[in-house]
Amino acid sequence: MKVLFVISGNLTGSDVIVNNQAESIIKQNKAVNIEFYKIKGKGVLGYLKNVYPLRQKIKELSPDLIHAHYSLCAYVSVLTFSKRPLVVSLMGSDVHLSRLWAFIMKVFSFFWKRVIVKSEDMKRKCVVKVDQVIPNGVDLSKYPVLSKEDAKQVLALDVNKKYILFLADPARPEKNYSLAEAAFRKLNDKNCELLAVHNIEHNKTKYYYYAAEVVLMTSLYEGSPNVIKEAMACNCKIVCTDVGDVAELLKDLKGCYLTQFNDETVAQDLREALDFKGETDGRLRLMKLGLDSDSVSEKMVNVYKGVLNSKQ
């Protein structure tokens, strides 16, 4: 089975997520061959310039199906007028649309064979029919157990400091970094430091998770945030706003706290997390939910098989 992934070549974070998914699928099923087309160029015109090159790529590879990640990549795929079936994975931002873009999505969705979203929350909010909810999985082998001291040493961090990790770009409005800053000021703990990190190599993230005392996410919206699942894989303590599927991920997980959109509550939840002794059972929770990469990859391959079998 040959699958062409159409993804944005503009966002480093999404590139890593989709690459990890491809690796997991190939590892899970050797009969699947995945090639990539990365869309370069921003804005509507930037994306439209990729229609002809993508059409040529499809002719060259002759894939069995196309899997587009994000709605804009799906629109470009449709405009190639390829006869290959199109599977579309929508992300968190794809359900927060203006009326115009919601209308555009509804029109283009007539040409999509399957629509996948990352959480039940996304499914409820999506303006088009969703066929399946499949969150991104986590390759647990990439998060071997490390001591806090060793992780801090690798990163040259102060072994006596307690770090509250904000693993996202503070400049992105939806990540709501201003709330994290306000809550940290309310926390007023001189032994703590708010550590905002982004644009790092993905294989280094494990050191930040293990070095952190608490992982903090204050996003306004998410689909199924990889940061939270990766933090769970490292048994981190977590404070996170109730977005996407986080409530289900962290349900009854001691040392992890769903918080509200005000700085006093976030600060109080940070205090409780800091006071919590020991590790969480996040890694075990991921496995129970079937969110290890092997389980998720099997679900994705079954989607592909279902699409191809429906053609026959």
What confidence tier does 9 reach under pLDDT thresholds 50, 70, 90? confident
pLDDT per residue over 92-115, tens digit each? 889 888 999 999 999 999 999 999
Could you tell me which residue, 202 or 163, shows the higher pLDDT? 163
What confidence tier does 193 reach under pLDDT thresholds 50, 70, 90? very high
Starting at the edge strand found earlier in the chain, the sheet holding 238-241 runs 192-197, 162-167, 214-217, 238-241, 256-259
pLDDT per residue over 149-192, tens digit each? 999 999 999 999 999 999 999 999 999 999 999 999 999 999 99
Overall fold of domain 140-288: Rossmann fold (3.40.50)
Question: Taking 60 as the threshold, does the pLDDT of residue 13 lie above it?
Answer: no
Q: Do 140-288 and 2-137+292-311 have the same topology in CATH? A: yes
Query: Would you state the pLDDT for residue 311?
Result: 65
Does 3.40.50.10860 match the CATH number of domain 2-137+292-311? no
**Tell me, what DSSP letter sits at residue 135?**
P
Distance of alpha carbon 180 from alpha carbon 186, whole angstroms: 10
Per-residue b/e over 64-78, b at no fewer than 16 CB within 10 Å?
A: bbbbbbbbbbbbbbb
Enter the tokens of residue 200: 């790092």
Question: 188: Cβ–Cβ under 8 A, 6 or more apart, which residues?
Answer: none
pLDDT per residue over 25-68, tens digit each? 998 788 899 999 999 888 889 999 999 999 999 999 999 999 99
Domain boundaries, the chain: 2-137+292-311, 140-288
Question: 40: Cβ–Cβ under 8 A, 6 or more apart, which residues?
Answer: 9, 10, 46, 50
Q: Which amino acid is at 55?
A: R
pLDDT per residue over 115-134, tens digit each? 999 989 899 999 999 999 99
Radius of gyration of the chain (CA): 20
Query: Would you state the pLDDT for residue 12?
Result: 53
Question: Taking 90 as the threshold, does the pLDDT of residue 248 lie above it?
Answer: yes
